[in-house]
A and B are shown apart, each in its own frame.
Chain A
Amino acid sequence: MAQTKLNATLGMSGNLPALNGSAITNLTSGNLSGNLPALNGSALTNLTSGLSEADTWRLNTSLNVSTGQASLTANWERDDTFANGLLGTGMSESSGVFTFPSTGFWQVVGNISFINDNGGNQAKYLGVAIEVTTNNSSYSEATNSYNSNAPESSSIYSFARTSKILDVTDTANIKVKLMYLVQQDFAVSGNSSRNVTYLQFTKLGDT
């Protein structure tokens, strides 16, 4: 005879059979009480880490620039000092063109530090731009950001920073460069020990 109701005060003893989690599909929260047991990380599977790629490249040599704009095409190096962190494969660089190691959503941060070591006239703008190509040929200013400075008789420092999240669906065609835009003769600062002018790449997730 099929048993449809058991009375726990009468005649029940022994151990319950092991429960199979896959058979538990619907729990009513109102019937749950007590504390959850501690989770053992080794028992957790099918979890993925949040970030898989992070890389920083910097300009290692300063240059003087005249009024106008141009891509920074030389003297790039990967950050390699002060406990630098390279997560994953990292970017590749050739003549200032940066290629992504894998498809995905990537955050790109570009920073340029400027200096005029003799002071001088006001620079109405000192800017940075991230240039993006989607066909490995023609580049567009995907972002830009500007700073300015007042006229000074002594050395002047400034910087501009910008960022962009890219959906890199094709690593052969989607690439980036860093560009300066200045209204006065200035210097773009580079350094081989510290990040002063740099590009920082972080992969946020899969495309």
Chain B
Amino acid sequence: MRKDGRPDHIEDALRHMHNGQWFGWSDSKNKIYANLIIYSKIWNISYTGNEHEEGMIDNPYSKPTEKECTDKLKKLQDEWDSKNA
């Protein structure tokens, strides 16, 4: 993401698909689709009133296709451009 907030990377698209740490990179210095990894377990918190429980659960999210990532990024960019025109 640029400093002005305009999305410019598929990581921006991925984090807008689902909340939490459901994905990562096999090479954090080279964040390309080929290096995208989806974790088998993720940290989860469930709330009941003021109480909460947390722990690892199976990751309910699957790996998006590369096209889904680029389409999502394009959508976010269009939204940002429209809002900041």
Contact = CB atoms under 8 A, between A and B. Distances in A.
Contacts of A185: 19
Nearest to A73: B43
Q: How large is the interface on B (under 10, 10 to 19, 20 to 34, 35 or more residues)?
A: 20 to 34
A63 B21 contact: yes
B24 A65 contact: no
Contacts of A69: 45, 52
A135 interface: no
A87 interface: no
B38 to A, nearest CB: 11
A63 B25 contact: no
Nearest to A179: B54
Given A61-B24, A70-B45, A73-B43, A154 B19 contact: no
Interface string B30-48: 0100000001001101010
Main secondary structure of the interface of A (DSSP, over half): loop
Contacts of B56: 73, 95
A52 interface: no
B83 interface: yes
Contact of B24 (A68, A70, A74, A117): A74
A154 B5 contact: yes
Contacts of A61: 11, 21, 23-25, 28, 31
A198 B47 CA distance: 26
Contact of B16 (A60, A64, A70, A193): A64
A62 B39 CA distance: 15
12 contacts: A61-B23, A63-B19, A63-B20, A65-B20, A70-B45, A71-B54, A73-B43, A95-B56, A118-B80, A154-B84, A192-B29, A193-B29
Given A70-B20, A75-B25, 19 more contacts: A61-B11, A61-B24, A62-B1, A63-B21, A65-B19, A65-B20, A68-B52, A70-B54, A72-B21, A73-B56, A74-B43, A75-B21, A115-B1, A115-B5, A117-B6, A118-B80, A153-B83, A154-B4, A155-B4
